Structure 1
């Protein structure tokens, strides 16, 4: 069971949206906050990213210098500026010319100086119910891919650059698939960057000899009538020791996470399948449709049928 893929899949509400940004110095682009998570990939040239607040109530931060191959992930889609220099006056993104050339649109701005080419966009993630794995991420992740760092991420960036620089047959399908996969490469690189000796939270949980098997069991079989005792047995720990360890790393007690994942699984089944409510209830560990509907409404504020109708209408 790939917990990272499952966790992100539970939050996705649509395919990512993106645009190519072409700037020639002097240039500066002000990007407003977005729903979901923002990302940037530097395909050519250099620039600066100036955070205007990270979505967690913090104020402006120090500018970040970006080089070719660098990737930036903004967990909460906070507003920020991209520029050739931190002192260049910024223009709003909506005021720039947008071309509709395939495979994605292009924003062009600036003067006649040094060229910078970026891929900018956002992943449509449900921030109203973020998975705790995503909630624990830093508000801004900067991943350089030069000098052999993060080879798989670097390869994805290189492939994107090739397809965007010289679109050919198949590019219209290849580029969105690469952008979609990029999110997994970004988060895999960040998690693997965390030193084992000092890793905390989910970065530690995913490699912990006791907590990781319990998480895998919950994700693989949410309908199983798990208890703290049965999960602790799989982890090889006492009930109390396992509960403390799980809660510290995951951010909530084992049974609370089990309920969260059952409800997350149920919501996905309601959105993406025609399964009757009795089947959804059985697949998520509830013995009756009534018990499932009561638990679901307590979690989402809507009855399962109403949730399915709203999700389909959106």
Structure 2
């Protein structure tokens, strides 16, 4: 059975991670406005208040994990004691490699592992749009272990470290997404996979993108009427069924063109186009350039 979540995560190609340990005591508030990548935080002990722009603030307790696939700006502050409204703190790197926030002396009252990573996919924005905008998971020891492995591997200089990190990050992302219980809040892939009717159609598309799918055929997979299926898919996934199919086909085509291991005719057959010309027309309309020119562009990059 096809696993659309694994497909999406593997095509995102997470890489170049950065992670750090941060400790704090006393009142503190740190503001970040320069984040343009995946952000995750594992709260190791104590409590912190996390506020993402445009969202209600919430408290991370010991053992909580938060993952934001497309972070922009956020504020982290102390809970015990609360930070004064105008306080601005600056993390200071200690000799032990740990960043200190708030009061410099005395034992730490909170500690968290914070990490960032980037996606190498040429369709990262589209793929990220299929994922929840935020995931919060509590009490999952597996996530703690994975986050620690990512940190250790990122700091070590071992053979094949980049390959190991990419796979660790893939596992971390998958584990975080499948551990969350808040998939119903945001339309997207996870919400679709959790739906008893829409999930089978998503798996069918990923298992056989070359099939000549129609809304009627996908509705049969879901056991719904055509109109009921179309409405439900659009509401739960956030895009229309054929729109999702087209985006997924073009994403696969981009990755195959980027790899340079298939000619255009093979790619056309693999993703469900009966002729090279039909594929070239659809690709050009969707991407804005022909497959041949796209392949030359990514090869020269």
TM-score (norm 2): 0.78
Larger mean CA deviation between 225-234 and 154-163 belongs to 154-163
- Structure 1 distance, partners of 2:114, 2:291, is 36
| Residues in 1 aligned to 2:73 and 2:136: alpha-carbon distance in whole angstroms | 16
The alpha carbon displacement at 1:248 in A equals: 2.8
The answer on 1:66 being equivalent to 2:60 is: yes
Instruction: For residue 263 of structure 1, report the CA deviation from its aligned partner.
Output: 0.7
- Give the TM-score normalised by structure 1: 0.75
Specify every segment of 5 or more residues in structure 2 that has no aligned partner in the other structure, as ranges. Answer: none
**Considering only aligned residues, what root-mean-square deviation do their CA atoms show, in Å?**
3.6
When the two structures are aligned, how many residues end up with a matched partner? 287
Distance 2:285 2:292 in 1: 14
Structure 1 residue 258: Cα displacement: 1.4
Change (3 A) 1:234 1:273: same
Equivalent runs, 1:231-246 vs 2, <5 Å:
231-246=218-233
Equivalent position of 2:83 in the other structure:
87
CA distance in 2, matches of 1:48, 1:172: 37
Find the aligned partners of 2:198 and 2:223 in 1 and give their Cα distance: 10
Q: Determine the structure 2 residue equivalent to 1:22.
A: 22
Aligned to 1:31: 32
Q: Deviations over 1:206-226 (max 9, x none)?
A: 233432222111111111111
CA deviations 1:132-190 (Å, max 9, x no partner) are 532xx2x4433221xxxxxxx42230454488689999799577644442211111122
Report if the CA contact (8 A) 1:18-1:119 is conserved: no
What CA distance in whole angstroms lies between the structure 2 residues aligned with 1:218 and 1:212? 10
Asked if the contact 2:177–2:190 (Cα under 8 Å) also holds between the matched residues in 1, the reply is no
Q: Which residue of 1 aligns with 2:112?
A: 118
Matched-pair contact (CA < 8 Å) for 2:209–2:271 = yes
CA-CA distance at 1:3 after TM superposition: 1.4
**Which of 260-269 and 179-188 deviates more?**
179-188
Q: 1:272 to 1:35 in 2, by over 3 A?
A: farther
Bigger mean CA deviation after superposition, 227-236 or 156-165: 156-165
* C-alpha displacement of 1:77: 0.7
1:172 to 1:219, Cα distance in 2 relative to 1, 3 A: closer
Provide closer, same or farther for how the CA distance between residues 194 and 223 of structure 1 changes in structure 2, counting only shifts above 3 A.
Answer: closer
Give, in angstroms, the shift of residue 131 of structure 1. Answer: 5.0
Q: Tell me, what secondary structure is at the counterpart of 1:185?
A: helix
Change in Cα spacing, 1:107 to 1:278, as seen in structure 2 (3 Å) is farther
